[in-house]
Amino acid sequence: MKFGVLSEIGHRERRVSIVPSVAAKLISAGHTVHIEQGCGLRAGFDDEMYRVHGAVVLARTEVVAQSECLLRVAVPDAEEINELRAGQTLVSYIYPKRHADVLQALASRDVNVFAMDALPRTTRAQTMDVLSSQNNLAGYKAVVIGAAELGRIFPLMMTAAGTVPPAKVLIYGAGVAGLQAIATARRLGAQVEVTDVRPETKEQVESLGAKFISVEGLDQVNVQGGYVATIGEDVLARQKAAVEKSLLNADLIICTALVTGGKAPTLITADQVSRMKRGAVIIDMAAEAGGNCELTKADERTEHGGVLVLGPTDLASSAAQNASELYAKNILAFLTHAARPDGFAFDMADEITSATLVVHNGQVRS
């Protein structure tokens, strides 16, 4: 097949969907790889690094014109959707539940679309799982950014002038990003407490050396396929009460709580922020889905009574080199599964294809 790799113009995106070593693997499997000039530069890969493996470096218009399948990272905007032509296939992040308009626009251009963020979290799909690979890096970055913003250090330090106690970190959500955030904060020497509404996370949290904050009645939370589908107001109220003391004592808070598809649950109110320690920092990773803190604004710094609230949405992109390498390996695993030398199989009986193919033959698939 002829694959095209586009630069993510107009986005704050530094990642590239295919790195040179993965381009080499696609080419040795019999495919052609077109690379838009300069598309890997912000992730640390120049055109020559692709060329030596046999990729063809072209201007953007030529990549689009000559490729059967376009590979990218960021959700395309209206201008980028208009570049595509009927019959082409797009493989990208899409977040279909949040972007009905994007799906409709792609369907009206008769482009087939695989959403990499819609993969089932199954053993078979593990090597393709972009959410795991990218959110893992993002969890690490959230703690590193929080540590840099905080006016204090993480580890216990004994000095002749006195003892500095360890920083207290509170993490909402122990999924992929949260578990990496715990490990990173622990490595830096912080005391870490964690809240999650899936009871099975307790053991994982404790194995990383953090304290799990228990909440009564978690068996009532509706979990489907490893994700929280719905959660009752009574459970949220009990959780709020159980976490309150840790919240008011915390120096750094990392928010990663997410429920399937919809808006992120609001777990920290403005009133609670007013009562937090002066100088505390909240890194709200759920900002793009509305945030776990009431005060979060995506990609903005908000100060409230001496507490800094950050809502970065480009954490994985800020580790562009590693993130691109892992994303590209996920894409390679996906293409190895779904693509034949002469095109995609579009085998709807296959659960990976069925879950990720969000637009096909001009129709949005529900």
Which of 60, 121, 152, 198 does the annotation list as catalytic? Answer: 121
Nearer to ligand NAD, 53 or 238 (CB): 238
Q: Which stretch binds ligand NAD (CB under 6 A): 57-65, 152-160, 166-174, 202-210?
A: 166-174
Residue 14 CA: distances (Å) to CA of 122, 203, 349:
28, 35, 35
Minimum distance from CB of 131 to ligand NAD (Å)? 5
How far apart (Å, rounded) are the C-alpha atoms in residues 17 and 290? 26
Concatenating the DSSP letter of every residue in 178-213 gives: HHHHHHHHHHTT-EEEEE-SSTTHHHHHHHTT-EE-
How far apart (Å, rounded) are the C-alpha atoms in residues 272 and 172? 15
Q: Which of 107, 115, 210, 258 binds ligand NAD (CB under 6 A)?
A: 258
Look up 14 and say whether it is catalytic. no
Which of 28, 104, 108, 126 does the annotation list as catalytic? Answer: 126
Structure tokens at 242: 């159980």
Q: Which of 167, 285, 293, 338 binds ligand NAD (CB under 6 A)?
A: 285
Give every strand in the sheet of 191-195, ordered side by side.
211-212, 191-195, 168-172, 252-255, 281-284, 307-310, 301-304
Structure tokens at 102: 């994007």
How far apart (Å, rounded) are the C-alpha atoms in residues 83 and 106? 11
Determine if 117 is a binding residue for ligand NAD (CB under 6 A): no
Nearer to ligand NAD, 247 or 259 (CB): 259
Applying the rule CB under 6 A, the residues between 321 and 360 that interact with ligand NAD are none
Determine if 316 is a binding residue for ligand NAD (CB under 6 A): yes
How far apart (Å, rounded) are the C-alpha atoms in residues 292 and 297? 11
Structure tokens at 78: 């209206």
Residue nearest ligand NAD, Cβ-based: 175
Determine if 281 is a binding residue for ligand NAD (CB under 6 A): no
Concatenating the DSSP letter of every residue in 82-138 gives: HH--TT-EEEE---TTT-HHHHHHHHHTT-EEEEGGG---STTTGGG-HHHHHHHHH
Q: Which of 166, 265, 282, 357 binds ligand NAD (CB under 6 A)?
A: 265
Q: Which stretch binds ligand NAD (CB under 6 A): 31-39, 148-156, 280-288, 301-309?
A: 280-288
Determine if 293 is a binding residue for ligand NAD (CB under 6 A): no
| Helices and strands (H, E) in the chain, number of each type | 12, 21
Look up 129 and say whether it is catalytic. yes
Nearer to ligand NAD, 4 or 265 (CB): 265
Which residues participate in catalysis according to the annotation?
121, 126, 129, 132, 227
Residues that bind ligand NAD (CB under 6 A): 131, 134-135, 138, 172-178, 195-198, 201, 227-228, 231, 239, 256-259, 264-265, 267, 285-289, 312-316
